[in-house]
Structure 1
Amino acid sequence: MADIVICQSHKLSHKKAKAAAQKVADQMAEEYDMASEWDGDVLVFKRTGVSGTLALLENEAQLEIKLGFLFKGFASTIESKVTEKMKKVFSSKA
């Protein structure tokens, strides 16, 4: 079961939504040494202590994050930052 679940509505085309998600994945890879790969319309990501998926639906992006023991204490902080990032990425470029 996921520790963090965020659903962000958007009005992006499928192509733009996937490009936005990939941009975030690239930033996460650079900043946090996080690996990711696409499985259809689901971006699967992981690193030590953190894993999850970002599913792109027609008008919504659904993010689920599983946290390892050492990260669970920071769940609310992580959720706040990720929610802010999701809003920025998926609500801008219409």
Structure 2
Amino acid sequence: MPDIDIRHPHTMEPQQARAAVQEIADKLTERFGVTCRWDSDSLHFDRSGIEGKIQLLPTALHVTADLGFLFAAMKAPIESELRRVLDKRFS
């Protein structure tokens, strides 16, 4: 079971939602040095201590992440920031 598991609704068209997820990926890369790659409708991201994905569904996003030891200690602020960004981009 992932350490972080968020489902966030959206009403965007697929291309628009994909572009918004890519913006989030760009910020993750810039701020945290993660590597991102698309696999169909899922954006996978990872770096030492974090591995996760943002799955684009027709009416929702599903964000999951496994956190290593150091990041597990910061689970609450990481999850809070993810929810804030999702609310901002997809509400």
With normalisation by structure 2, the TM-score equals 0.96
Q: Deviations over 1:2-35 (max 9, x none)?
A: 1011111000000000000001101111111110
CA RMSD of aligned residues (A): 0.7
Structure 1 Cα separation of the partners of residues 29 and 80 of structure 2: 19
**Residue matched to 1:73:** 73
Alignment size in residue pairs: 91
CA positional deviation for 1:46? 0.2
Listed as ranges, the matches of 1:32-71 within 5 Å are 32-71=32-71
Which 4+ stretches in 1 moved above 3 angstroms? none
Structure 1 Cα separation of the partners of residues 81 and 42 of structure 2: 21
In structure 1, runs of 5+ residues without a counterpart are none
CA positional deviation for 1:64? 0.1
With normalisation by structure 1, the TM-score equals 0.93
Structure 2 Cα separation of the partners of residues 81 and 26 of structure 1: 15
In structure 2, runs of 5+ residues without a counterpart are none
Secondary structure at the counterpart of residue 62 of structure 1? strand
